[in-house]
Structure 1
């Protein structure tokens, strides 16, 4: 297994030693090529890089026999142009793994051993990511985000933009080089959202697998490129407006559309010898009150994903989006076994968001759609039905089936 890591640099002397140290100390059954793509730095960046290069060539780093470091310094048109230059010489291969890391960011200890083992043991995996981890300029940790669930559908739709759903953290995302070439590589003309664009094109081709622990650490600093949110979101909106799904998603299997809503998790606990892959449906919501547990598919009813029953007349759930001033279009995919069923949906202040008369056909799913702005800070919704169904002596009679919940931002409000 060969791992290629690109480090784009420009006047990176302050943190480059820490970045390189976090990579050089990685050990495992892999060969590692680190390439520094410098943009004509005027500080000590190149001196630091060449010092590490000399230490490798003189065998002064214990256990680093399988590590090589190369350096190029030339003008570029920004970070993604530098990354494209660095990756240009990496051939397409299933046995070559790629990533890039900012010169002020870090890899977590053991991340490359973990990544190489997973890719070696699971040929079906083409790209994966770890959970997020962030530090500040003084190395102090921030509170972690809750684990974010990634489905191909949500990535392709551009929902993981940091407003609707959480980012795919680039630091700790790895992929096979053949996927990179199949997707067309990084867009070197972008300035802020090159990773967002690349992830969408990856998702058109392959599933993403997520680990519930971090593989990399992002350093948050003021005045860094990634802190310019206005410019980032302008570029994101331009990418969404010009995203040619017919061209870029020609490999999508529309006969298996539900497959794009699944999430794939990778877990391992101390008693286990190998990593376990878990497939689950990404519902985009968390049941809070009066729901069954997640139930297995019923193929005989044309229900090919897991689902929930509501219990009794009133159920409560939380939509898994950021509580920001964004108008969302929310679609519930449901089944209803009751005649003359009425469903009402309320927000956390008991304001009604929609009232729907449901068809009484359990063999066929139906969709209801409404719009709402969660800018108040609470993403809780209440579902109230008129006629629950009591199969026998159940304490909590069954309500309706929730097969899925889809969210789409349709308007970004200004505060």
Structure 2
């Protein structure tokens, strides 16, 4: 259903909730209407794919809408849920740019169809059982606006449990498509990744045939297509771990797609070459280790 709105609501405008904290009784203060240089904020399009996630969906939706971001396009693609998800979506319909609820061929197809409707300069997705953190989109908008050459960026993310309590922080690494393509390793948590629509369209978008590794597949192509950076500072989003999460239930599919992507983007390596790349990966991870120690010891964000 097409609604077409780009203004984010105030906390008081949204449906009331008995729950407390972010994003129930806390909102990001609204950003100024223009950037400090007088230019408009870049439009950001967020797509949320969902199926049978009514327990978490409202929290995900509110975490996007309460970003206080002046130029937000928000698209919700539900796969025909019958668990109350549609009723939740309808409560927030006035602030959605587009939503639908119908069989969609799975998460990758829902993402591809959602991004096909996007008009934003910057794209990302947030799954229906995850959430953005306060101020994330304002930080992303400024980061990309200050770097018009930037293709792809990745920031830190928290692991949270089913109740929303933080388990662990993922300290993101600067994107390295070569190490990821050849070894299958990376530290770019999807909930903290953003990219330019122009680059997304140039590299061909989401691969609809993948069920688990569509994020790694897309991010390899995006980060190889143009300059990519780590977005500094605190976590941008939360990655929820729970018993019904795809991460917990699709291990066999992950293994098959992991091997597929190594064949697709990598190349046969000798034992010496493989060992050398593992050393490079070990050195590459030192960046995150230093940041972790600075944060835990001194509270420094960098």
> Aligned ranges for residues 207-218 of structure 1 at < 5 Å?
207-212=227-232, 213-218=234-239
Higher alpha-carbon Rg: 1
Match of 1:96 in 2: 121
Match for residue 230 of structure 1 among 233, 236, 252 = 252
Q: CA deviation at 1:50?
A: 0.7
Q: Check whether the contact 2:57–2:85 (CA below 8 A) recurs between aligned residues.
A: yes
Secondary structure at the counterpart of residue 163 of structure 2: coil
1:32 to 72, 79, 89: 72
Structure 1 residues 3-152: aligned runs within 5 Å: 3-28=44-69, 30-54=70-94, 56=95, 68-91=96-119, 96-152=121-177
Aligned to 1:115, the other structure's residue is in SS state helix
SS in 2 for 1:242: helix
Cα offset, 1:328, TM superposition: 8.6
CA distance in 2, matches of 1:84, 1:127: 18
TM-score by length of 2: 0.72
Residue number among 177, 197, 216 corresponding to 2:217 in the alignment: 197
Structure 2 stretches of 5 or more lacking a match? 1-41, 283-302
What SS does the corresponding residue of 1:406 show, helix, strand or coil? helix
Larger % of helix: which? 2
Give the aligned CA root-mean-square deviation in angstroms: 2.5
Distance 2:247 2:197 in 1: 25
Unaligned runs of 5+ in 1: 57-67, 161-165, 246-326, 333-370, 372-404, 409-415
Q: Is 1:170 equivalent to 2:190 in the alignment?
A: yes
Q: Distance in 1 between matches of 2:244 and 2:264?
A: 28
User: Residue 121 and residue 39 in structure 1: after superposition, are their counterparts in 2 closer, same or farther (change >3 A)?
Assistant: same
User: Does structure 2 retain, via aligned residues, the 8 Å contact 1:156–1:204?
Assistant: no
Q: Distance in 2 between matches of 1:181 and 1:244?
A: 23
SS for the counterpart of 1:150 is coil
**1:111-132 alpha-carbon deviations (Å, 9 max, x no partner):** 1111111111111211111112
Question: Per-residue CA shift, 1:217-251, capped at 9, x if unaligned?
Answer: 11111132122233212211012213388xxxxxx
Q: What is the distance in 2 between the residues matched to 1:147 and 1:189?
A: 27
TM, length-normalised to structure 1: 0.53
Question: What is the CA–CA distance in structure 1 between the aligned matches of 2:246 and 2:71, rounded to whole Å?
Answer: 31
**Are positions 1:156 and 2:178 aligned together?**
no
In 1: Cα distance, 2:133 partner to 2:141 partner: 14
User: How many residues are matched?
Assistant: 236
Structure 1 runs of 4+ aligned residues shifted over 4 Å read none
